[in-house]
Structure 1
Amino acid sequence: MSVLTIRAHKRYATRLPVQLRRAQRKDATGLLIELSQHGARISNLGGGKYEAGDAVTITTPTDEELPGTIRWAHDGIAGVRLDKPLHLPEIKDLLELNARTQSGEPAEDNLRYGT
């Protein structure tokens, strides 16, 4: 039987390497696997302990920093609620970077501007 989940915001599947930074703890490397205007899901976080309510900052491959709060975490996966919602152009830029990364193109933004 299929279960339909209604979400408040559209979610986009991605595969972008990110850094997850927490105060007074070692940074973790993870994989951004889902992105929405208000949140993100990160996998491959390893053995670190993540608690709901922890303040974190996600650093994207373009060095953009997205502050947020852990909403849930288990088995090396965490859901993060972003402190400030992403604007649609920001989501579009990350999705385009994801597409270029998956197709094997260089991830540098300077290719986008023809320089």
Structure 2
Amino acid sequence: TVAATCQRCLEAFEHHLDIPIRLLVGVKDGTVMDGPGLDEFEVWELSGDTVRAVDFVEESLIMAMPFAPMHEFDESCKALHGPVESDTPDTIRPFADLRSKMGK
């Protein structure tokens, strides 16, 4: 589980991630890694001699996180209602006073 903020109600919650990792690590040597059954694996080609497991875990976590996390099937999670107060006008007219600034 990872800490996340619900995009519907803006409350913090624990988001459960279930990440099955099937990884095939190879070395970049100019040959194409191809063959039967390889489509079931995540293929990473390395250019160096060292492998950092944290890179694989980090990439898997980032790709598994939803773009907009929300509570799942929670009755208490409601969208925020009511008007949103803002100091900016609804319509922005960037060229509204251009004529007066040009002196015409």
Tell me if TM exceeds 0.5.
no
| Higher Cα radius of gyration | 2
Give the TM-score taking structure 1 as reference length. Answer: 0.24
